[in-house]
Amino acid sequence: MRRLLAWLAGTLLLLVLAAILLVLTALDSTPLVSRSATISPQSVAEARWLLLTNDPRRLRSGEARRTAIPAALIDEGINHVATRFLHGRGALLLGENSAEIRLTLQPPQLSGNRFLNISATVQEVAGQPHISSARLGRLPIPPALLELALHGGFRLAGYQRELTLALAAVQELRFEPERRRVIVGYIWEPALLERARSIAVNPEDLARIRSAHEMLAGLLDHHRPGARVDLPALLGPLLDIDGSDQRANRRAAIFVLAAYLSEKNLAALIPEAANWPKVRPVMPTLLGRGDSAQHFVVSAALAAWAGEPIAEAIGLYKEIADAHHGSGFSFADLAADRAGTAFGELLLGPPDKLDRLLKTPFVDSDLAPSLAGLPEGLGQREFRQRFGDTGSPAYRQIVAEIDRRLAALPLYRPGGKS
């Protein structure tokens, strides 16, 4: 028996060493994907359109749908996931009847210019995506082995049921490189929405969100409807909470406050919220403005839950949309967006700065920079006359001024103290 156990242990050790050697052999000195983590406002607009035209709340069980997904949206989505969760970058390249997914990973354990490059080519087989070839650095990987590993990863993560439902729903998959899009035909299954909700809000998050919601309702209960309330008066109590996971508690609090300020019904995502206490309608303000409070909090929630690039892209998309057919492009709103994004990033990092802020009375000017002199209400024509587009030197100069004002605040000062 001892000899058998020793043989098994030795075999396992050899397999581990072989796997480590394989990874080390596959390391490259140059990245396969080299790009920033930026998400474009165009992708935000495209994602919004996809959700509007494929709203799961309006689909019937068994309904057949067909939709075109812009390749750039998938490309930026892959890059965002790779950036946020894999310490790397990602990309999508469409080919004739195929799509190649590329990843470049540089985990903290890798020192110097050493990269783990992974690529996989996906083709449609009987309406389903299948890996036709793959590489780990310079080494080819058997496609069947990679698919087996992916399915095993989903199973270990607890998402095997979701993957099975999603694959069963897909009936058609077509790559159209000339039109830069992917066509997906699917049969709607309501269980997909329920599973997506359970992934988005797990039982622990649900308890935290309910607690934050009840606290917000209590904070506003003594205010008259429509009263103006300074944002620090809400942020202070909502974020100054103890618990086994303070970071998760604060993320839940900023989520609840963002849903309230954007007038979104929590019950659309969390059906149980329909029976939670009603929150009295008031107007939270930042720097004396209700719109600044909304922009700040929503951007903070996006940064805390989805990542900084998404928060910045949505903020810029909103201002571009306003320039076309709304209240006009506002650099003041953009400043509130960028301040909120920076605040949301603090919620994800070490708690020192926020803890120091919350232990003393703080005011609006601790959270957001002065809006003095920032152009507002710019219609599309005026914006183009004065700034051209969002890549022009004139535009970048004002954004740089906003960032300079933001960096001057102790709360956001790199390496500084609040």
Find where tokens 């930042």 sit.
286
Closest CA to 396 of 307, 331, 340: 331
- Cα separation of 108 and 87, whole Å? 8
pLDDT at 317: 56
Structure tokens at 127: 């309406």
- Vertex 307 angle, CA 333 and 206, to 5°: 100
pLDDT at 93: 95
Residues in contact with 11: Cβ distance below 8 Å, sequence separation at least 6, in sequence order: none
Residues of the chain under the 50 pLDDT cut: 1-2, 4-8, 10-11, 14-18, 416-418
Residues in contact with 133: Cβ distance below 8 Å, sequence separation at least 6, in sequence order: 120, 121, 140, 143
pLDDT at 108: 72
Closest CA to 80 of 42, 133, 37, 131: 37
Relative to beta strand 283-285, strand 228-230 is: parallel
Q: Give the bridge partners for 128, in sequence order.
A: 125
Closest CA to 330 of 410, 398, 413, 266: 398
pLDDT at 268: 76
Instruction: Give counts: helices (H), strands (E), the chain.
Output: 16, 10
Q: Give the bridge partners for 174, in sequence order.
A: 183
Chain length of the chain: 418
pLDDT at 37: 83
- Cα separation of 149 and 143, whole Å? 10
Closest CA to 301 of 363, 418, 212, 196: 212
pLDDT at 96: 84
Structure tokens at 57: 């709340």
Three-state DSSP class for residue 409: coil
Amino acid sitting at position 201:
V
CA atoms within 13 A on the CB side of 128: 11
CA 285 to chain centre: 26
Residue extents of the structural domains in the chain: 28-198, 201-408
| Model pTM score | 0.73
- Cα separation of 120 and 143, whole Å? 8
CA 216 to chain centre: 24
Q: C-alpha distances in angstroms, 168 versus 56, 176, 293?
A: 16, 22, 43
